[in-house]
Amino acid sequence: KLVHKSFGERVTLATNPAAVKLFKLMESKKTNLAVAVDLVNKSEILALAEAIGSEICCLKTHVDIVQDFDQDFITQLQSIAAKHNFIIFEDRKFADIGNTVKYQYENGVYNISKWADAVTVHGVAGPAIIDGFRDGLKQKGAGLLILAQMSSKGSLCVGEYTNQMIEMGKQNADAVLGFICQEKLEAMGDNFVLMTPGIQFNSKGDNMGQQYNTPDYVIKEKGTDVIIVGRGIYQSNDPKSEAIKYRQQSWSAYESRL
C-alpha cells in the first residue's frame, strides 16, 4: 500500500514551478478536479470556463479544435483563469524531435508557450525532446506532463515504456510537472502531480476506445492526484452542478487516503 502525503507537504518537494503552483492551488482551493473542455466554439468554451471555474484546479484545452480561435480567446480564457484561480493546460501531445517541438510550442498560430501553464508530451522520440521546451517553459514558469499511460483500449504506453517515461520525468524534474497516468507507481515519487483522464460516473466507455473509471476508484485504489473529466461534465444538462459532484467525490477520496 502506498503512503500518501498531502498536497501541502508536496509543495516543498516539487521542483518544477508549475507543479509548485498547482500543489498550492489544490491545497488552498480544495479541488483536484480538472475539466477537459473539448468544445469547438470560443464562446461555448469561455461560457463553460466561467460557469465551472470556481470548482476546478485545471482547465484542459485542445486548442487545435477551436474553429474560431483568435488571440482574444486566449486573453479571455486567461482572465477567467486568473479570476477563478485555475491553471490552463494544453493537451497537445507533442512527440517530434527537440528542434521541431520547439517551433510547435513557441510558434505557429497558437503560440502555446505564451499562455499554457502545462503541456502534454509523448516521450517516444527519447529524452532530448525535453530540451526543445526548456526556453519556453522557463519564460512562463510552465511544466510538462509526460504521458506514462493512456486511458484508451489497447494503449501501447505500458510496462517498460511506462517505466522509461517515469525515468525521463525524474531526470528532468526541473521541466516536468508530472505524469498523465492511470495509476501511481512507486517510482513516480511525491514531487510530481499525477493526472488521470478516462473518468465518468455514468459510462464505462465510448465507441472509439475510451475507457472510464470513477474518481473514487482512481484516487483511492490507484493513487492518482487529479481527475480529468470531459464529456461527463461538458455534455451534461447542468455542467456546474455536475462539476460540483465530481469535485466533491474526488476531494473526499483524496482526503480519505491521507
Q: Which of 48, 150, 176, 243 binds ligand 5FU (CB under 6 A)?
A: 150
230 is in an annotated binding site: yes
CB closer to ligand 5FU out of 166 and 180: 180
Q: Which of 53, 198, 223, 239 binds ligand 5FU (CB under 6 A)?
A: 198
Q: What angle do helix axes 239-256 and 42-52 make, rounded to 10 degrees?
A: 50
CB of 235 to ligand 5FU, least distance (A): 8
Give me the catalytic one of 21, 91, 102, 225. Answer: 91
Buried residues in 74-99 as b, exposed as e (16+ CB within 10 A): bebbeebbeebebbbbbbbebbeebe
User: Would you call 93 a catalytic residue per the annotation?
Assistant: yes
Site string for ligand 5FU, 100-129 (x = CB under 6 A): ------------------------------
210 is in an annotated binding site: yes
Site string for ligand 5FU, 1-40 (x = CB under 6 A): -----------------------------------x-x--
Supply the DSSP string of 64-106, one letter for each residue. Answer: GG-TT--HHHHHHHHHHHHHHT-EEEEEEEE-S-HHHHHHHHH
- Residue 225 contacts residue 57 (beta carbons within 8 Å): no
Fill in the DSSP letter of residue 188. G
Residue 178: beta bridge partners? Answer: 145, 193
Q: Which of 34, 146, 147, 188 binds ligand 5FU (CB under 6 A)?
A: 147
Q: Which of 18, 180, 188, 194 binds ligand 5FU (CB under 6 A)?
A: 180
User: Would you call 72 a catalytic residue per the annotation?
Assistant: no
How far apart (Å, rounded) are the C-alpha atoms in residues 219 and 234?
A: 22
- Residue 141 contacts residue 115 (beta carbons within 8 Å): no
How far apart (Å, rounded) are the C-alpha atoms in residues 202 and 212?
A: 9
Is residue 193 within the footprint of ligand 5FU (CB under 6 A)?
Answer: no
How far apart (Å, rounded) are the C-alpha atoms in residues 236 and 258?
A: 31
Question: What residues from 45 to 104 belong to the interface with ligand 5FU (CB under 6 A)?
Answer: 62, 91
User: Would you call 5 a catalytic residue per the annotation?
Assistant: no
How far apart (Å, rounded) are the C-alpha atoms in residues 146 and 124?
A: 10
Task: Candidates 1-9, 22-30, 143-151, 250-258: pick the segment binding ligand 5FU (CB under 6 A).
Answer: 143-151
235 is in an annotated binding site: no
How far apart (Å, rounded) are the C-alpha atoms in residues 128 and 171?
A: 11
Residue set of the binding site: 38, 60, 151, 210, 230-231
What is the binding site for ligand 5FU (CB under 6 A)? 36, 38, 62, 91, 147, 150-152, 180, 197-198, 200, 210, 228-232
Known catalytic residues are 91, 93, 96
